[in-house]
Amino acid sequence: MEYLLHEYDDYKLVLVGHSLGGALTPLVGNEFANRNRQVTAVSFGSPKFGNEVNGAMVEGNAYIRVTHVGDIVPLLPTRQLGYSHAGLLMFFQHQRATTGCRHHPNKGVHKEELDPRGCCIRHNGSNTSEKLP
C-alpha cells in the first residue's frame, strides 16, 4: 500500500464501506490522515463504531455517513452502551428524498440536537439540495 500511495501521490483517496465495513471506514481513514494523506471516507448503513473520544478522533477528517430511516444497523450498538456516531450525516427518509446535516461541515452534526435514531432534528422532515463535499 505504501508503494501505491507513493507512486500515485496526486490521486485522491476515497474509502467506502457498508455495514461493518462502514464502521471501519472512518478508522482506516484516520490512519491515512495520520500519515499526512488527504482522504475522504464514506460509509453506508454503518453501526456506531466507538464512543465520543473515537468520534472526536475522526472529526477533523472528511467523513460522510449515509443512513436510511428503514435501516436498523445505524442504531446499533445502543447509546446506553456508550457508543455514538461521528461525521457528516446524509439521511434518506424516502426512496428519493435526502436530508443533509450541514450545520458545521467540518464538525458533523450537533450531537445535542439528535433524535433517538441519531438523526439531526433540525433537518428531520425537510429536504435540502445542499451539496456534500
- Whole-structure pTM over 0.75, yes or no? no
Look at residue 98 and tell me if it is in a domain.
yes
Higher-pLDDT residue of 56, 122: 56
- The radius of gyration of the chain from alpha carbons, rounded to an integer in Å, stands at 15
What average pLDDT does the structure give for the chain?
74
Look at residue 119 and tell me if it is in a domain.
no
Q: How many domains does the chain have?
A: 1
Look at residue 71 and tell me if it is in a domain.
yes
Q: Model confidence over 38-71: pLDDT tens digits?
A: 889 999 999 998 888 887 888 777 888 998 888 8
Could you give the angle at the alpha carbon of 49 between the alpha carbons of 74 and 99, nearest 5°?
A: 40
Mean pLDDT across 110-123: 47
Look at residue 128 and tell me if it is in a domain.
no
Q: Categorize the per-residue pLDDT at 86 as very low, low, confident or very high, splitting at 50, 70 and 90.
A: confident
* pLDDT at 2 (0 to 100): 79
Identify which of 116, 29, 11 has the alpha carbon closest to the alpha carbon of residue 65: 29
Mean pLDDT across 1-10: 85
For residue 98, pLDDT over 50 is answered with no
Mean pLDDT across 9-33: 91
Q: Categorize the per-residue pLDDT at 121 as very low, low, confident or very high, splitting at 50, 70 and 90.
A: very low
Look at residue 70 and tell me if it is in a domain.
yes
CATH code for the domain of 107: 3.40.50.1820
Look at residue 36 and tell me if it is in a domain.
yes
Higher-pLDDT residue of 3, 110: 3
Q: Categorize the per-residue pLDDT at 96 as very low, low, confident or very high, splitting at 50, 70 and 90.
A: low
CB environment 15-38: b (16+ within 10 A), e (fewer): bebeeeebbbbbbebbebbeeeee
